[in-house]
């Protein structure tokens, strides 16, 4: 049996792959860029990875003819502005077109609960995607999920930021909106057990946890699990735009995602009753237990996937193979080098860079740069990193994207996802003579790009110099502030 998994680089797709390969299935992972696929099971004998961009119909011929079932887990929420609705519509139509040329027995779609009279653009787009996919000549199963609670999910990380950073919250009135969150474990169980289950063909189910609560209650119960006392005051004066900015500056989310979430949070997300979990023999997990399980994974550094893995809208159309070779023509460069006396320690320092560890010198300047980036709509430093010592190609790392993380060849290459008038790379490499090379490359766009480089050039002398000196130390040391 062969299963097509779209959105395989996404939050749910990365986790679902484990369950699918535990069964006697062949899995074809559909990704836009194979260079970003860094899954732990990448070399599994029953796994095939193909490149297919559902916004580009000519790339879809790579999809095999003998697919039995497909999971549709794609969305375009990381796109800035309102363009995500058009992109999601186009992706669904292109999927439908290629599916008619294949012989899928079943397509399973994971969307969002859409029972309120007034839907947000996000939920309206998910419902429109469902309608398009339901027209296919295959058996269609639509699963409409509530807010997902699990380590690395967007909603979980936003709630975590709010609760752990703010003892007192002056919050928007949408905190009174009712919701029915569901544990990511239950989502995965349902997706797994729905596969080729004929009793579920051509049906739609709302899937949610056992409890209905307001967003305010979710925050307070999250705080209770964490052993924190929090006071929340709702005020009516925060408009959706102001609410988006509030969420953007307080949490690690991007402004575009914050805006989409605020729009969705004005809509009640409550499931219509059904017997799906009884049919599948699934026991629903309570909200507080889902939070405990999420933190158990975080403490053990077992974060399989995160919403932060999604690329920013500035890099979403760039291919990794185009970023691996750092350009030289028309670029500004800052190159520094240090002798390496203990290669393993230096590599460990490199593979621990960013996040809580910091950048080995002038961390307050890096934080200031991150704050400036947030103020102009960038990702800032708050994405951090998903693991304290492991880095993989495709990971987010503060306001960088990891392009190459090759410990064998002693090379780490980062691409900037901050707001810049140009493109920027930061590369570290140890050569055969045991010399550490650190190279910052900036490819400016127009006169503003050149002026930007001249403006920041005076800081490079001590920031980049201090950084390479900290990394090249023979012991894994704490970064200098």
| HSE, side-chain direction, 13 A CA sphere, residue 139 | 14
Dihedral of CA atoms 450, 456, 457, 458 in degrees, nearest 10, equals 140
The pLDDT averaged over each successive group of 10 residues in the chain (481 residues) is: 91 90 91 77 89 91 92 73 80 92 93 83 88 94 92 77 80 81 94 96 95 92 89 74 68 64 75 94 94 69 47 48 69 91 92 89 87 78 77 84 88 89 91 92 84 88 91 62 44
Specify whether 199 is located in the same domain as 58.
yes
Q: Which residues on adjacent β-strands are paired with residue 254?
A: none
Question: 215-225 and 154-165 are packed helices; what angle lies between their axes, rounded to 10 degrees?
Answer: 70
Angstrom distance (rounded) from CA 210 to CA 229: 25
Query: Domain total for the chain?
Result: 2
Neighbours of 151 (CB within 10 A): 24
Tokens of 34: 């194979």
Tell me the pTM. 0.70
Specify whether 331 is located in the same domain as 291.
no
Residue 190's nearest CA partner among 19, 70, 6 is 19
Specify whether 402 is located in the same domain as 266.
no
Range of the domain at 40: 2-153+179-213+262-300
Specify whether 467 is located in the same domain as 422.
yes
Does 236 reside within a domain? no
Does 235 reside within a domain? no
CATH code, domain carrying 372: 3.30.530.20
Please give the pLDDT value at position 85: 84
Angstrom distance (rounded) from CA 148 to CA 135: 27
**Residue ranges with strand state E in 146-276:** 148-149, 168-172, 178-179, 182-183, 203-207, 213-214, 231-235
Residue 2's nearest CA partner among 64, 95, 72, 73 is 64
- The answer to whether 340 touches 436, Cβ cutoff 8 Å, is yes
Please give the pLDDT value at position 207: 95
Specify whether 47 is located in the same domain as 129.
yes
Specify whether 328 is located in the same domain as 441.
yes
Specify whether 274 is located in the same domain as 331.
no
Please give the pLDDT value at position 396: 83
Please give the pLDDT value at position 462: 87
Specify whether 328 is located in the same domain as 276.
no
Specify whether 35 is located in the same domain as 113.
yes
Does 232 reside within a domain? no
**3-class SS of residue 395:** coil
Specify whether 294 is located in the same domain as 338.
no
Neighbours of 324 (CB within 10 A): 15
Q: Which residues on adjacent β-strands are paired with residue 412?
A: 405, 428
Q: Which are the contacts of 395, defined by CB distance < 8 A and separation ≥ 6?
A: 38, 309, 385, 386, 401, 402, 405
Distances (CA, A) of 305 to 22, 149, 158: 18, 13, 15
């Amino acid at each position: 049996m062969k299963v097509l998994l779209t959105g395989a680089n996404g939050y749910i797709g990365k986790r679902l792959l484990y369950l699918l390969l535990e069964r006697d299935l062949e899995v074809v992972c559909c990704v836009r860029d194979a260079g970003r696929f860094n899954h732990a099971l990448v070399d599994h004998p029953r796994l095939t990875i193909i490149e297919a961009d559902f916004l580009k119909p000519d790339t879809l011929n790579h999809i095999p003819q003998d697919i039995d079932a497909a999971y549709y887990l794609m969305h375009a929420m990381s796109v800035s502005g309102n363009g995500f609705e058009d992109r999601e519509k186009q992706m669904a139509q292109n999927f439908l077109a290629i599916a008619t040329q294949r012989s899928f027995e079943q397509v399973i779609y994971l969307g969002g609960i859409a029972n309120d009279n007034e839907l947000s653009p996000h939920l309206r787009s998910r419902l429109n995607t469902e309608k398009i996919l339901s027209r296919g000549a295959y058996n269609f199963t639509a699963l409409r999920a509530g807010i997902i609670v699990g380590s690395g999910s967007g909603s979980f990380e936003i709630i975590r930021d709010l609760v752990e950073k703010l003892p007192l919250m002056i919050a928007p009135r949408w905190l009174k909106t009712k919701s029915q969150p569901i544990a990511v474990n239950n989502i995965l169980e349902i997706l797994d057990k729905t596969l080729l289950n004929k009793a579920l063909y051509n049906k739609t189910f709302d899937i949610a946890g056992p409890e209905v609560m307001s967003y305010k209650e979710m925050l307070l119960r999250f705080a209770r699990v964490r052993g924190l006392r929090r006071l929340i005051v709702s005020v009516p004066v925060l408009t959706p735009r102001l609410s988006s900015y509030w969420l953007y500056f307080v949490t690690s989310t991007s402004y575009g995602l914050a805006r989409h979430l605020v729009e969705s949070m004005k809509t009640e997300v409550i499931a219509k009753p059904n017997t799906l979990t009884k049919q599948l023999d699934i026991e629903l997990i309570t909200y507080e237990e889902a939070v405990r399980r999420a933190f158990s994974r975080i403490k053990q550094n077992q974060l399989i996937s995160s919403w932060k893995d999604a690329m920013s809208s500035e890099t979403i159309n760039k291919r990794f193979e185009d970023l691996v070779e750092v350009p030289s023509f028309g670029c500004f460069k800052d190159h520094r080098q240090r002798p390496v006396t203990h290669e393993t320690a230096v590599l460990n320092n490199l593979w621990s860079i960013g996040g809580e560890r910091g950048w080995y010198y002038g961390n307050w300047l890096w934080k200031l740069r991150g704050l400036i980036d947030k103020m102009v709509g960038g990702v800032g430093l708050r994405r951090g990193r998903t693991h304290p010592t492991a880095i993989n190609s495709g990971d987010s790392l503060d306001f960088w994207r990891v392009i190459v993380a090759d410990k064998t060849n002693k090379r780490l290459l980062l691409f900037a996802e901050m707001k810049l008038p140009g493109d920027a790379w930061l590369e570290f490499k140890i050569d055969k003579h045991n010399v550490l090379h650190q190279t910052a490359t900036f490819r400016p766009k127009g006169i503003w790009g050149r002026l930007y480089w001249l403006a920041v050039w005076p800081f490079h002398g001590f920031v980049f110099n201090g950084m390479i000196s900290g990394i090249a130390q023979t012991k894994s040391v704490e970064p200098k502030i």
